[in-house]
Amino acid sequence: MSSHSCVSRVRRAYGLKRVGHGGTLDPAVTGVLPLALGPATRLLPYLSGDKAYRGVVQLGLRTDSDDLEGEVLERRSVPPLDLPQLEQALAAFRGTIQQRPPAVSAVHVNGQRAYKLARAGERVELAPRPVTIQTLELLAWRPELGELELRVVCSAGTYIRSLARDLGEALGCGGSLARLRRTAALGFQLEQSVSLEQLELAAEALPPLLDPLLVLSHLARHQLGPDDLNGWRCGRLQTTQEGWPVETPVLVVDPDGNLAGMARVQAIGQLQPRLVLDAAG
């Protein structure tokens, strides 16, 4: 199932047209897919971008999509590998690295998605770009199967398929992603998730939605005074006594503590409205 299909099912369940997802999941990947409903779709860009995964890399196999869904390009024998050798190889991928996205990916190339060009038979060679891998932990090594099980915590834009491909090359035998589960995304954990089966069984009592004020509690916060509300609704600059750095995103609440929108620090002590939920006019 694609991320878009998940969005469609949530739209039907809640009777809403505006539903958006934060971070596409490949159809073969399971796990956390954050969804925003109604006006909250406009808040997705303000969520924390780090993601966590648990996956299995199949060594000795290269495909055109860097996972087992693609066409096999090459098979190689897997050399004898011990844990110190594996740890040495993994160490090179920790921290900020240059990573080339898979040819079959959603990256734009001259205005088109790379996967569309690749599936049309065009040769796609994407430029490497910086990504950060904070955690890369070896959970299991199954030499009889040539399988590595990994835990990864990484920045947005990191491709675990690319990691599998590059790790296989570093070990001299090639590699492809066999299985992957996203365990955290945009501040949400797998344990908080609602399965699609639960959603369909809960027609009479749909799962409750999370309050955006709780979801965005990691951000700086500014409360409007009674005399500020009309100006905020008209998009006027707001003043603050806080010394937040320029460009800091700030959560803005009305005098009653309800979410009013988002601002950014334009200059020290000045807030520029960026998202006004109840704009005047």
Write down the residue that tokens 């996203």 correspond to.
Answer: 182
In whole angstroms, give the CA distance from residue 145 to residue 157.
29
Q: In what order do the strands lie in the sheet with 220-223?
A: 220-223, 249-253, 259-267, 270-276, 238-239
DSSP state of 260: E
Which tokens hold the place of 176?
Answer: 């492809």
User: Are 141 and 111 a contacting pair, CB within 8 Å?
Assistant: no
Which residues lie below 8 Å from residue 22, measured CB to CB, with a gap of 6+?
33, 34, 35, 36, 44, 47, 185, 186
Instruction: Tell me the CA distances in angstroms from 152 to 99, 110, 136, 147, 157, one per residue in order.
Output: 15, 31, 5, 16, 13
In whole angstroms, give the CA distance from residue 148 to residue 274.
45
Is residue 26 flagged as an active site residue? yes
**Helix 160-170 × helix 83-91 angle, to 10°:** 120
User: Are 176 and 157 a contacting pair, CB within 8 Å?
Assistant: no
In whole angstroms, give the CA distance from residue 262 to residue 39.
12
Catalytic residues: 26
